[in-house]
A = this chain, B = another copy of it.
């Protein structure tokens, strides 16, 4: 049971608060849309010291909602729902939840006014459907929606909280950050701010990471909690002190010891992507980057252009499927392509150098290969990828090989390229000699 944290009560760790996320929508269950709400809300809560206990996705039929909300209401302290509030949705969504809570829905003239004004500003006519969105729970709050018509709804009852959010990400995300997180923090249900230290590593497995760091952890037996989480070739670990025996400064000190030990396997503090880490290193060194891709077809360029302000360090990219494009855009010599083929260490090197020269960049990465499911030949079966790095001190290539479907092969090749670039930039930053490996299979 949730009880707001105040001076007269024993303090409860936010980690004990049970959170459930209920995502509504047939398009999720039919596999048509990825569940981005889970990714977003899970990450936001995780940063504030709480982990979702469960995420349940169901259709937006009233019966299913009633059954699930009743079940979740019995086991969770905070329930967050997403979707099912649109004007074309089954209008029984709010009613279904109201039935479980034993509440009435009441028409709220303030919501009606906000919807009417929104439509007037857009020059559109309001429909009867839209006015369904003007209902709220009789004992509940309204979370205004600056980016759409359906407001969020908030109920506190039986020592628990239920929060209903609209489905469109551009409506949900600002509402969650600006309204829901502060409300939860004010009630002591999550941390006011991030109160742990997260260290992100790359290129090292979870168990060997743990083995390497254990001696450091062993020196701080009292009050230190360590949580590991592996994902997509990276392993994060979070240091916290649930009983607050260690201060934030002490946690940061322990993290710094780990970082020191990890060397270039340390990627960053916090939550940055590998591309963001590379971007920060490039900016710090006032260097620029260009990329050239065949098989990964824009995925590497896209990783960098996901970063706001990428123009500062990213000179550009070329996706050159045809040999004509390689020759025309990157000055790859025709005789090289005829002799070694497009999927070769030689072509990867030529593409990287061509990209650096054409786009006037200090660093360049090139990827060429067979992502499958067809293609491949002889020494270069499906899954073979060549990555090349052009740096101020020279140009090298590596041969990689990945199993799996096309999308997986592409993503893993991009991750490997990013990690290689990150290590070279790290070494340049710290005055360590570059890893000169003319070729060889990356581990």
A residues with CB within 8 A of B: 26-36, 38-44, 46, 51-59, 64, 68, 71, 88, 147, 168-170, 173, 206-207, 229-232, 236, 291, 293, 295-302, 304-306, 308-311, 314-322, 324-325, 328-329, 358-360, 372-375, 403-408, 410
Contact = CB atoms under 8 A, between A and B. Distances in A.
Contacts of A170: 403-405, 408
B296 A319 contact: no
Contacts of A34: 34-36, 38-39
A88 B210 CA distance: 12
A88 B319 contact: no
Nearest to A238: B30
A88 B207 CA distance: 8
Nearest to A234: B32
A28 B55 contact: yes
Given A27-B231, A170-B403, A297-B298, 5 more contacts: A31-B39, A31-B41, A34-B34, A34-B38, A299-B305
- Total copies of the chain: 2
Contact of A58 (B53, B68, B308, B321): B53
Contacts of A52: 29-30
B322 A311 contact: yes
A55 B53 contact: no
Nearest to A146: B403
B43 A30 contact: yes
10 contacts: A30-B42, A31-B40, A31-B44, A34-B35, A53-B64, A54-B68, A293-B298, A298-B298, A298-B300, A306-B410
Contacts of A71: 71
B306 A319 contact: no
Given A42-B31, A169-B408, A317 B298 contact: yes
